[in-house]
Structure 1
Amino acid sequence: MLKVDFQKQLDHFNLEMQFELDKEILALVGSSGSGKTTLLNCLAGIVHPDNGTILLNGRHFYKDGQKPLKIQKRKIGYLFQDYALFPHLTAEQNILYAQPGRTDVPHITELTKILGITGLLGKYPHQISGGEKQRVALTRALAAQPDILLLDEPFSALDDANRDRCQEELLRIHEQWQIPIIFVTHRIADAEKLADRIIRVEKGQMAEEAVV
């Protein structure tokens, strides 16, 4: 269970987030610059709230008066909007970056099969398509067997065919892994297709919440 209740002052408004999330898929929708990615970054530990609490499965990521939990100890999978693959590493090396010193990891082998990237493992990012990069980055995000998965505009660079395929793969992974997933999107159709819940964020405020 994820419990979020914090504030963060941004340039033009105060980000105020308060919600709980079980093993569900949550979509964050809203205009650019509304605070959606900042929320993900606060969960990941890249930035910290000004005050409040972030709690996942009884572990405090952030709490007033305590030192924030280090990024490496949060067990979060994060798929960045630009995928953030290392250009000098192969797809396999990018994936195993989350598992230093290990080359035979059964759950990663299974993920590469689920996501259909087994044949891409020896290629570099510049040698594969946008949809293939997305699946490699998703495999890397899941490689450390996270307790929660964060996705920032995961389908924005994909054509319709690849978007549909990646969405189906995400639903399959969620069914198997049963962890909370939060994804940011500008496409209401994506939110309605994938999410159990939708939160609209505008100027740092949770403007509405819909149960799908």
Structure 2
Amino acid sequence: MYKIQVIKELHSSEGKMILDVDISVKQGSFTSIVGKSGAGKTTILRMLAGLVKPDKGSIHSGGDVWFDSNTNKNKIPQERSIGFVFQDFALFPNMTVLENLKCVQSEKDEKQIKELLSLTGLTALASCRPDSLSGGQKQRLALARALVRKPKLLILDEPFSAIDQDTRIRLQQEILKIHKSYNLTTILVSHDLTEVLRLSDYVIEIGNGKIMRQGNTDLFFSNEGKTDQFRMTGQVVDLFYENEKRFANVIVGNMLIKVRVEDSMEALLRIGDIVLLSLNDFNPIIKKINT
């Protein structure tokens, strides 16, 4: 269990803000932190990683104390078993893919590097430098570099914000596979609620430096029966069969809406599609929007 009880004074676009949170993250969970820009999400990650010092409070990893303002204990980032994937990748531009991995490896392990290159699809690009890689390849390299130190906790700060939709979905699937195969605890900050829904088993919403609400993903997004708009746009996050009928889960704002897919639409819909929902006798009807 990771326990984060911290207070930090921040300066937002609206003036001074006090970040005051008490967060528990279960070992092995995939937890997402959501909220508006400036709410304090990234600062929480950076305090957890040891990159920003809280004003008061404590951070524990199980029985290991990483930070405690009462005892002035503050472990440096290298002493915390964390892999951090930054929004801007933070790769070394003068090094090859292979060198980017070797330079942060705590002890030489050629087998592990080969496994990570294979897992992230970068084996054939080992001798390339970051400026010759696509956005998705850079993101995979950043992920491999975060994993090369064999962390117990993986932190992802808006990792897919600069990547196209198709690549984003593929990388999300890879992240989830790595999370499970490496038995990681993962914390994600994202503005993309479809991403949060696909990956997370627990969600925490931050607003103005405070926890607004939190809970298991299904409960967090569930809002059945609330149809206060006649027409809504959303994104398909899942397609499935139930009693031999085709359904789609569509996320609209912070609502997850289950919609029956008509036969005429079945072959047209894909995960990630932007759709229009309209109401007919209080039953939602789905229509794909051409983009």
In the alignment, does 2:153 pair up with 1:148?
yes
Q: Structure 1 residue runs of 4+, over 6 Å off?
A: none
Match of 2:224 in 1: none
Match of 2:100 in 1: 94
What SS class does the counterpart of residue 156 from structure 2 fall into? strand
In structure 1, stretches of 5+ residues that fail to align are none
Aligned equivalents of 1:69 and 1:101: distance in 2?
20
CA gap of 1:20–1:100, structure 2 versus 1, over 3 A, is closer
Cα deviation per residue 1:5-43 (whole Å; 9 max; x = unaligned)?
111111121111212111101111111111111001001
TM superposition score normalised by structure 2: 0.70
Which protein has the larger Cα radius of gyration, Structure 1 or Structure 2?
2
Higher relative contact order (CA 8 A, sep 6+): 1
CA gap of 1:149–1:88, structure 2 versus 1, over 3 A, is same
Cα deviation per residue 1:127-169 (whole Å; 9 max; x = unaligned)?
0000000000000000000010101101111111211111111
What SS class does the counterpart of residue 74 from structure 2 fall into? coil
Identity between Structure 1 and Structure 2 (%): 38
What SS class does the counterpart of residue 86 from structure 1 fall into? coil
Match of 2:7 in 1: 7
Q: CA deviation at 1:107?
A: 2.3
TM superposition score normalised by structure 1: 0.96
Q: CA deviation at 1:177?
A: 1.5
In the alignment, does 2:80 pair up with 1:74?
yes
Match of 1:52 in 2: 57
Q: CA deviation at 1:100?
A: 5.7
In structure 2, stretches of 5+ residues that fail to align are 218-291
Aligned equivalents of 1:40 and 1:100: distance in 2?
22
Note if contact 1:131-1:162 (Cα within 8 Å) is conserved in structure 2.
Answer: yes
Aligned equivalents of 1:156 and 1:204: distance in 2?
22
Aligned equivalents of 1:18 and 1:172: distance in 2?
29
The Cα RMSD (Å) is 1.2
In the alignment, does 2:176 pair up with 1:171?
yes
**Aligned partner letter, 2:6:** F
**Aligned partner letter, 1:204:** G
Between Structure 1 and Structure 2, the one with more helix by share is 1
1:113 equivalent among 97, 115, 118: 118
